[in-house]
Amino acid sequence: MKVIPVPAIAGAYLFEPTPHADERGFFSRTFDADVVRSVGIDPNGFLQDSVSRSRKGVLRGMHLRSGLGEAKLVRCSWGAVFDVVVDLRPDSPTYLGKETFDLSGETQVSLYIPAGCAHGFQALTEYADVSYRIDRTHDASEDVAIAYDDPELAIPWPLPAAFVSERDRQALPLSAVLQNTR
């Protein structure tokens, strides 16, 4: 498994597996505690696994947690998604840095997102399953949503936002979220 640091987001990493393919399909290790530990992430710190299934055009995000935040290891296990991370940690050397990724079931690449970063994605295929390994149990009172179409973020979503939750339609602009968290 190859580890690739994400320059625009300090502490974020891509974990690129080495699939073994033959006429039957492929086998791939998607998580390796020793590899995760090698970049300073405690593999035992993950407390919850979740999965979302989205139809093509569904847009989820931009989400983060207040308080201590929430670190995530995300992977598209089926289909393909356009994934976005924004660094909202004021003391980070990459504060307000943004990076986009193409994650897919074909590559099985995992993306580690440090606590304090906003995250969102859009499904690019008929269906897309995204798996999350999270370091905190969910507390709805800490949920924060930033407008996915905020001009300050200027996220180049590849498809029209066909399906967006009510929460995401009513999300605040980045400037308001930053003002509320100071």
Q: How far apart are CA 41 and CA 36, in angstroms?
A: 6
Catalytic annotation, pick one of 95, 112, 119, 132: 132
127 is catalytic: no
Using CB atoms within 10 Å of the CB of residue 98, give its burial: 0 to 12 exposed, 13 to 18 middle, 19+ buried: middle
Q: How far apart are CA 136 and CA 69, in angstroms?
A: 8
> Where are the domains positioned within the chain?
2-20+28-180
Among 92, 106, 99, 88, smallest CA distance to 145 is for: 88
- Estimate to the nearest angstrom the gap between the alpha carbon of 157 and the chain centroid: 15
Per-residue confidence in pLDDT tens, the chain, 182 aa? 999 999 999 999 999 999 888 899 889 899 999 999 999 999 999 999 999 999 999 999 999 999 889 999 999 999 999 999 999 999 999 999 999 999 999 999 999 999 999 999 999 999 999 999 999 998 999 999 999 999 999 999 999 998 999 999 999 999 999 987 65
Expressed in angstroms, the distance from the first to the final Cα of the chain is: 38
What class is the 2-20+28-180 domain?
mainly beta
Q: Is position 119 annotated as part of the catalytic site?
A: no
Tokens of 21: 């393919």
Spatial distance between the Cα atoms of 68 and 44, rounded to a whole number of angstroms: 17
Catalytic residue among 13, 20, 63, 127: 63
